[in-house]
Structure formats: C-alpha cells, structure tokens
Amino acid sequence: MHRIHSVAKYQIADNRNGVLVYYAVLIGLALIMVATPNWNSTGTTSLSGVSSMIFIFVLGLNCFRSSFLFCQANNISRRSFYFATILSLLVLAVILSLCDLVLDAVLGRYPFYEGFFEQIYPASGFAKILWTTALFTFSASLGWMITMIYYRANPWVKVLVSISPIVVITLAGYLHQRTDGVFGYALFVLLGKALGFSAQGPNPYPAMATFVLASMAIWAVNYLLMRKTPVRPY
C-alpha cells in the first residue's frame, strides 16, 4: 500500500505544472472576459466542463509510459503501478472538479457566464461535484486505455485502432439508412437514458452511474493490458 501511495504521489506531482498552467490560462481568459464590456451579449459562455474534460483526457494519454518505466526501474510491481494510476487519476479528477466549481461560482455572477453542468442539468452543488468527478474520471481512464493499447499493439493493430472511429461512424450511418432511421433513433434514446435525459427532465445521477460503470469497465481492460506488459524504453 505504501508503494501505491508513493507512485500515486509521484504521478500527481508529475502533472502539477500542467494543471497550474491550464488553470492560469483559464483565469487569464476569465479576466479578459470580465474586463471586456458587453462580452458575448448574444449568449452564455463557459470556460470549464468540455475544456477540462479534454485536458484530463490528455493527462490520461500521458500517464503511462514514463511512469511505468520509472516504476520498472525501481522494482515496483505492475500491480502497484496499476492501482497507483487509478488513484492518481481519481485525485486529479477531484482536483479539477473542485477548481471548475470555484471558477464557475466566481464567474456565475456575471450574466454572460453559465457553467457547463448548469447548461445541462437543473441540479447544483454536491451533484455537480459528483457528476464532474465521474465525467473526468471516465475521460482520464479512456486516455489511459488508449495509450496502453498503442503501447502494447504492433503497427497493424495501431492502424486499426486509429481508423476504428471512422469505421464505427460509417457503419452507424449505414445502419441508420438501412433501417429508415430506426437504428439512429434507438441509439439516441439509449444515449439519452444513459445521460439522464427523460420526459421528467434532465437528471445527472444516471449519467454519474454511466460514467462510473464505464470507468470500471475500462479499468478491467487496463488490468488485462497491464499483465506481462513489456518494457519498451523507446
């Protein structure tokens, strides 16, 4: 357990500067927005949410290789590294969630600003923290899985993984046409239920459950990928 905590602290510290730079940029943009008269008078603006989700996804993409090689060089087991990575991504998700909450609370006083969560769901406060943390955990875990797949795969598999989104989108479009829109409608309804959209109104809690279950599924895949992972310095 001590090694897991030590590796997690190392990974969090490794991302500290990136997080500080990211929020320094957001604060700079916020100051520009506040200082600019009649900013975005035609609608609302949000700095957090999507941008933070993309940022932590990139952190997930970069959380594996250097940390894994460092652990192997220091005789830290793959199992310890695996659980330490989960712990570090969870902590980073909580940190970004709390920072976004503060940023949205400060800027929410201005008429031009509305947080990403508030634009989707009527709830706020603790529900926002849980939803944002679950979303960021899923995004970071997805980035971690992608980088592990690329690390383990041969060149042909890397090409297949790279073009898989295009294949999936093309296949979905084909099925949508062949079923006269039934496939697309069913997919839309399923996605809506998974994200908590219903006739009763948006509900963030089904979305939280979806993000948590998806993250756990990704961790299971990553556990299988971690087993017997070779050491490749280059």
pLDDT exceeds cutoff 70 at 26: yes
Quick one: pLDDT band at residue 233, thresholds 50, 70, 90?
low
**Model-level pTM?**
0.88
Check if the beta carbon of residue 7 is closer than 8 Å to that of residue 48.
no
pLDDT exceeds cutoff 80 at 184: no
What residue segments make up the domains of the chain, in order of their start?
Answer: 2-152+195-226
pLDDT digits 0-9 by tens, 147-179: 988 888 778 877 887 888 888 888 888 777 878
pLDDT exceeds cutoff 90 at 195: no
* Mean pLDDT on 22-30: 89
Q: What pLDDT does residue 71 have?
A: 85
Weakest mean pLDDT among 4-8, 86-90, 95-99, 220-224: 4-8
